[in-house]
Chain A
Amino acid sequence: MSDKILMKGNEVLGEAAIIAGCRYYFGYPITPQNEVPAYMARRLPQVDGTFLQAESEIAAINMVFGASAAGARVMTSSSSPGISLKQEGISYLSGARLPAVVVNMMRGGPGLGNIAGAQGDYYQATRGGGNGDYRTVALAPATVQEIADLTIKSFDIADKYRVVVMLMGDGFLGQMAEGVSLPEPSNQKFDKPWALSGAEGREPNIVASLRLNPEDALEKLNDELQATYTQIEENETMSESYMTDDADYLLVAYGMSSRICRSALRALRKEGVKVGLFRPITLWPFPEKELQKAAEGKQKVLTVEMSAGQMLEDVKLSLNGTADIDFYGRTAGMLPDIDEIVRRVKNYGK
């Protein structure tokens, strides 16, 4: 761990990717993540890497496809509408079993929406925004430090399981500057015998998602993918439980909303209201068992999101009728209000 420096989330993301060994970045400008391509354009040439501003988000994700097929660690970043454009490529990457890191600094939607931070792409990231039975691992940092740490982890998970990892921040988190200790590289090595490099000294490799024989090939690929997703669920699920043990009430929130919930929690605890916070760090795989444990015996579970209630579905599915669940969300780049959370939780006791 290095000394703490002050950096913006979007910039630390770029530096952490370089620390993780990423030398290829392809992207297309979109607010509120423009600091990422600007940072990579400046930094990558200094480490003999390649930065390329693509002609579109679609081209960028397909350049990622090519670089990943070539065996390289590669990243693209965008924000909500741009991520929608990348969905075809993400499905193809998943079908071809290519690792990649895709960053979504979410903004207000639907459509062009606005450029403030939001969490309205939870469904898109956790349900598979493209076609077919695939999953993307979705990591949701809540601080600039966690952006750095989870970026390193994203590349390892992507390579280990040959999947797409989505780093789900939002416009506020990306543009916020905080003290950060730059992480060490994990130094995990992953062989890529499937990669394309010209078939010198070996049989040719083919990287493709096309499987025309349904019995032998496509369903087999799908079975392999599902088995991989089960492994990821077992090994990579991450969450944080904060002051949940003695709590009567439980807040559930991720990313930026979890920080607002922490402030509400502190205010409530000061007044003697016993409230805890459960924070999913992986949105997929969703920390189902961990949430069940944290919610056990709680009088009320309040899910707080910067959306109309998308993670709420996973909270309900996980708790499966065992808890009384409430929801509070703001959309379109508006932040949940600390006082409103405090008011609601105090009301539960009345």
Chain B
Amino acid sequence: MESKGAQFEYIYEKPESLREVKTHYCPGCGHGIVHKLIAESMDELEIQDKTILVAPVGCSVLAYNYIDADGCEAAHGRAPAVATGLKRVHPDKVVISYQGDGDLLAIGTAETIHAANRGENITVIFVNNAIYGMTGGQMAPTTMDKQVTKTTPYGRDTSDVGFPIRACEMLATLERPVFIERTSVHDVKNIRKAKKAIKKALQNQAEGKGYSFVEVLSMCPTNWGVDSQTAVAFVKDTMAPYYPLGNFRDR
């Protein structure tokens, strides 16, 4: 599009690396924001035609329909293993493993830990919304204490199913990861921080530094059964205190 007249100026444009498609995500969902942050970072680092995106099983199963780059499916939880295979064949390309909380911390825990432990030179983007969205709102490994879900109708009982798992803290016990940061997309200030972390994580890979991990706390108003503003407040007031935001490693 061209600007119409000298008095108007584009101050915001859709990133090149984001496809022009209608979203399938629910209103108030954070995935769209995270996709955009990845696409913006790809543009700025000029890696769009070097990137291979591995999509998980979960709400973001179709992530490759949004990110305009080569895309690869992975079975539930296996994205880091698929990313490992891709990266070992194409060490000069940028491989992103995009995962949700069930994918990364329940069914795929082993793949998560071992890809990090090997120090695979990949970038893992972990969207933590404390629930299984795609299947209709069941308990995630990151579901909060007493949080009501379809499979914790009386609230998560930590004496029965344990406490929500903190991914960044766990991965920070390993030697090989070079970058671990927890961010959030519940407000503009934090979105900007998330963008910075995602860009850094991609840049690390492009520079051959090694395994980078960015957790993004995100909203799921539909499956939390709340409106968008309440969802934002839940991330800020309930999730962020338990999952402290900030950098855990930057080498």
Q: Which residues of A contact B (CB under 8 A)?
A: 24, 26, 50, 52, 54-56, 58-60, 62-72, 74, 88-89, 92, 96, 196-201, 204-210
Contact = CB atoms under 8 A, between A and B. Distances in A.
26 contacts: A50-B88, A55-B114, A62-B85, A62-B111, A63-B88, A65-B75, A65-B81, A65-B85, A66-B87, A68-B85, A69-B82, A71-B89, A72-B89, A89-B75, A92-B73, A196-B52, A196-B71, A198-B90, A199-B48, A199-B69, A200-B50, A204-B71, A206-B72, A208-B64, A208-B71, A209-B73
Query: In the complex, which of the residues A66, A199, A206, A208 has the most CB atoms of chain B within 10 Å of its own CB atom?
Result: A66
Contacts of B44: none
A89 B77 CA distance: 12
Nearest to A202: B49
A197 B90 contact: yes
Contacts of A67: 85-86, 88-89
Contact of A204 (B54, B68, B86, B90): B68
Closest 10 CB pairs of A and B: A66-B85, A70-B89, A62-B81, A208-B73, A67-B85, A62-B78, A55-B114, A200-B49, A66-B82, A63-B85
A201 B61 CA distance: 26
A59 B72 contact: no
Interface of B: 48-52, 54-55, 61-62, 64, 68-75, 78, 81-90, 93-94, 110-111, 113-114
A65 B82 contact: yes
B208 to A, nearest CB: 16
Nearest to B68: A204
B51 A198 contact: yes
A65 to B, nearest CB: 5
Contacts, number: 129
Contacts of A52: 84, 88
A199 B70 contact: yes
Nearest to A95: B73
Contacts of B87: 66
Contacts of B49: 198-201
B121 to A, nearest CB: 13
B86 A59 contact: no
Given A62-B81, A199-B69, A206-B72, 7 more contacts: A62-B78, A66-B84, A92-B73, A96-B73, A207-B73, A208-B55, A208-B71
Contacts of A72: 89
Contact of B78 (A26, A58, A205): A58
A210 B64 CA distance: 12
B42 to A, nearest CB: 11
Contacts of A74: 85
Contacts of A50: 88-89
A198 B69 contact: yes
B111 to A, nearest CB: 5
B86 A198 contact: no
A66 B83 contact: yes
Contact of A59 (B51, B69, B88, B111): B111
B71 A63 contact: no
Contacts of A209: 73
A68 B85 CA distance: 8
Query: In the complex, which of the residues B70, B72, B83, B111 has the most CB atoms of chain A within 10 Å of its own CB atom?
Result: B70
Contacts of B83: 66
A65 B97 CA distance: 14
Nearest to A205: B70
A54 B81 contact: yes
A205 B70 CA distance: 5
A196 B70 contact: yes
B228 to A, nearest CB: 26
Contacts of A200: 49-50
Contacts of A55: 110-111, 113-114
A35 B137 CA distance: 46
Query: In the complex, which of the residues A74, A204, A209 has the most CB atoms of chain B within 10 Å of its own CB atom?
Result: A204
Contacts of B62: 210
B86 A196 contact: yes
Nearest to B110: A55
Contacts of A207: 71-73
B117 to A, nearest CB: 9
A205 B93 CA distance: 14
Given A62-B111, A197-B70, A200-B49, A69 B85 contact: yes
Nearest to B82: A66
Given A55-B110, A207-B72, A198 B93 contact: yes
B64 A206 contact: yes
A59 B62 CA distance: 22
Given A198-B49, A198-B50, A26 B70 contact: no
